[in-house]
Structure 1
């Protein structure tokens, strides 16, 4: 799947170990540019936003607020 998203991605054990995949993809420019991986992880944590919007009709939009790459 990742090779379809990032053409020419070299084979690496991190493609199989999902906990390491975000770092590998980030290293190869496959995530939102201009952010460190730790910052993307922090901004992508929707836990608190989901708690606050748990029964809102626009739940899907609200949990993505502030996540880079989502409008």
Structure 2
């Protein structure tokens, strides 16, 4: 999740498993307290380029329909969750405390989005956000929006450009 600011570069949050040196990720092990949760906060370029240029993962970028006040509230929820993890470390769990469910649980119980199975499957949350009208669609069907939102080539082309964040957003509906 990236947060944009009026006078600074975008800041990116990534919720991940914290592994020991040499420890490989396993979905099965993720059910049995093998990893703790960690929030990575970094320059947007660093987070995206790690995934597009080195790990060769597909990266999709969507604009949200959040107002500035709502975005500020979400940003503060991330900070609060990070501080809570510092005080009380949590185990990662493939089902109950993964990257997507951790975002959901940052909100108070009465403010959480209803549960959906797509929160458990990597790569399915974007369709859920589309259906819930939480992202800018430009009136596109989901399949076309997803295709446009794949930013790997733009991220590789933008590489070290000072305009990286603007370049990766080219072609996204506004």
> How does the TM-score come out when normalised to structure 1?
0.68
In structure 1, the partner of 2:127 is 23
Q: Which runs of 5+ in 1 are unaligned?
A: none
**Alignment coverage as a number of residue pairs:** 67
Give 1 or 2: higher strand fraction. 2
Please identify which structure carries the higher helix content.
Answer: 1
Match of 2:163 in 1: 58
In the alignment, does 2:127 pair up with 1:36?
A: no
In structure 1, what is the equivalent of residue 98 of structure 2?
A: none
Larger-gyration structure (1/2)? 2
Once superposed, what is the RMSD of the aligned Cα atoms?
Answer: 2.3
SS in 2 for 1:57: coil
| Secondary structure at 1:66 match in 2 | coil
Question: Is it true that 1:13 corresponds to 2:117 in the alignment?
Answer: yes
Once the two structures are TM-superposed, the CA of residue 2 in structure 1 deviates from its matched residue by 5.1
The CA deviation string for residues 19-64 of structure 1, in whole angstroms up to 9 with x for no partner, is 2211222122222241211112111111111222212111111111
Determine the C-alpha separation between the residues in 2 that align with 1:48 and 1:10: 34
Q: Where does structure 2 lack aligned partners over 5 or more consecutive residues?
A: 1-102
Q: Which has the higher contact order (CA 8 A, sep 6+)?
A: 2
